[in-house]
Amino acid sequence: MVSSLLPLQPFMGFKEEIEKRRTFGIVSHPDAGKTTLTEKLLLFGGAIQVAGAVKSNKIKRHATSDFMEIEKQRGISVATSVMAFDYRGRKVNILDTPGHKDFAEDTFRTLTAVDSVIVVIDVAKGVEEQTEKLVKVCKMRKTPIIVFINKMDREGKDAFDLLDEIEQKLGLSVCPLSWPIGMGQRFQGVYNLYKKHLNLFSPHGKQTSDEMTSIEDLSDPMLEEKVGERPAAELREETTLLKEIYPEFDREYYLEGMISPVFFGSAINNFGVKELLDCFVEIAPSPLPRETEERVIHPDDDQFSGFVFKIHANIDPKHRDRIAFLRICSGIFQRNTNYQHIRLNRKIKFSNPTSFMAARKEVVETAYPGDIVGLYDSGNFKIGDTLTAGEELHFKGIPSFSPEQFRFVNNADPLKSKQLAKGITQLMDEGVAQLFTKEDNNRKIIGTVGALQFEVIQYRLKHEYGASCQYESVNLHKACWVDCEDQEELKAFTSRRKKDLALDKDGKLVYLAESAWALKTVQDNHPAINFHFTSEF
């Protein structure tokens, strides 16, 4: 008993294990090619094998873990899956993120568990709405970003224009590490400015790997031989221009989130993907320190710590248990070891922690900082919960965002009110939506980022808890968390505005604004009150 309470002493290779890890997320607007890129990365990592006959949608099933029946029905990646593989001596952990805008909050939360991201942009569509939102969150957290411009086999925007658009709309300082030679029908490949080699594209027949030719100096006549006279001249001209416009690549700047390397390729053709991966494992950060309310946690701290960033309902509807995804932040996580669940103030041990190797799930004995383990959970976890070897810590940076859609939730089956309450609590703990309880009449309001969640909640309440709910419209624009240094002032505000106030699931006070105008008025009338758009302030 006593021995299981002792933290595991990190061994000699502990730091090497941390250094090996690359934990990242791929984000994009739907259809830019995130799933395709993920599949190709998994292929390179040997995490999946594709015989020629395997249809791409079959691989897709493996590349995104569709835990929920509803997801299969809708064909939308509701789930955030974790896929790990080894590549060139590194352990790569990809955290997949739902692209659908209604699940943006899931994606925001997943971004709290990564150390870097790859942003995929469709060359024809350029920067789209969802990409803008997601990059904003990454920038808030200073997450290092690599940009992959996809679908170069199609006609799209001029490369310089696209980089301008990325700088303007995403506010990123870009640094192209590869440069395209033509596009669409005329796409011949890319010149890798970082490694100084030419990577030629063969449009007919699938490439299994990039075909590199080393060209140290672009004045080399071999360039003409390979791509023809005109494209060679264009490439020389454009790369000269690039040097004048964009900064040299500096890894430190990239790691600080100040510059973003850019690659061009075509995921579906497996083109430029190896190039991206090779550079990624070389430059992307290993697990980074993380802030808690108490202190900064360094990955090589001896003592284990981690936080839950995602909770997922089990695949099997007959089993109620869920999987809590834990990001390990420091020390070594061990199976069957007692860890302190800080919020519940009790020890818990896990007999079947799971790691994810693409579609395969395996029980893990030990896991290191940067790794994600799945913990079977029967209702002990909420998003943001901390587990440690014993120290009282609370990880920061896993906020709830102000929802955009609101509805009253009513019980549609009075005989199942207990089930409904339990179901709602558990779904809220999973972070499916947010629940607000009105201060004046105790009515419950569900707030979500997208309309689809309302259907998900209704479906899951019925299928997993046997409860029915009905929604009733409520005219709300935003929910803002409020606080005030002056407690008297806060008290006065609370009593005057009771009908517009509610408590969130943690008992924090929230102002429910009917419109942007109402919010502005109340802000003007109560200058001492602080209004926050995220729950962490």
Give the residue with the Cβ less far from ligand G4P, 34 or 197.
34
Residues in CB range of 336: below 8 A, 6 or more apart: 4, 349, 350, 351
Give the residue with the Cβ less far from ligand G4P, 203 or 397.
203
What is the H or E stretch that residue 503 is in? strand 501-503
Give the residue with the Cβ less far from ligand G4P, 74 or 462.
74
Give the residue with the Cβ less far from ligand G4P, 34 or 416.
34
Bridge partners for 87 per DSSP: 90
Give the residue with the Cβ less far from ligand G4P, 162 or 509.
162
Strands (E), 123-249: 145-150, 174-176, 178-181, 189-192, 197-200, 211-214
Measured between alpha carbons, how far is 386 from 393 in angstroms, rounded to an integer? 7
For the bound state, the minimum distance from the C-beta of residue 31 to ligand G4P, rounded and expressed in Å, comes to 4
Rounded alpha-carbon distances, angstroms, from residue 44 to 60, 92, 361, 500: 15, 11, 19, 54
Give the residue with the Cβ less far from ligand G4P, 32 or 510.
32
For the bound state, the minimum distance from the C-beta of residue 60 to ligand G4P, rounded and expressed in Å, comes to 6
For the bound state, the minimum distance from the C-beta of residue 13 to ligand G4P, rounded and expressed in Å, comes to 36
Give the residue with the Cβ less far from ligand G4P, 34 or 322.
34
Strands (E), 319-359: 322-330, 333-334, 339-341, 346-348, 354-357
Q: Minimal CA–CA distance to 304: which of 338, 328, 321, 283?
A: 328
For the bound state, the minimum distance from the C-beta of residue 28 to ligand G4P, rounded and expressed in Å, comes to 5
Is residue 385 classed as helix, strand or coil in its secondary structure? coil
Q: Which residues bind ligand G4P (CB under 6 A)?
A: 28, 30-36, 56-57, 99, 150-151, 153-154, 266-269
Give the residue with the Cβ less far from ligand G4P, 34 or 497.
34
Sheet with 530-532, edge to edge strand ranges: 469-473, 405-411, 444-448, 434-438, 501-503, 509-513, 478-483, 530-532
| In contact, 175 and 115? CB cutoff 8 Å | no
Give the residue with the Cβ less far from ligand G4P, 268 or 297.
268
Is residue 166 classed as helix, strand or coil in its secondary structure? helix
What is the H or E stretch that residue 423 is in? helix 417-429
For the bound state, the minimum distance from the C-beta of residue 489 to ligand G4P, rounded and expressed in Å, comes to 48
Task: Please count the other Cβ atoms lying within 10 Å of the Cβ belonging to residue 535.
Answer: 20
Task: Please count the other Cβ atoms lying within 10 Å of the Cβ belonging to residue 296.
Answer: 9
For the bound state, the minimum distance from the C-beta of residue 82 to ligand G4P, rounded and expressed in Å, comes to 16
For the bound state, the minimum distance from the C-beta of residue 483 to ligand G4P, rounded and expressed in Å, comes to 39
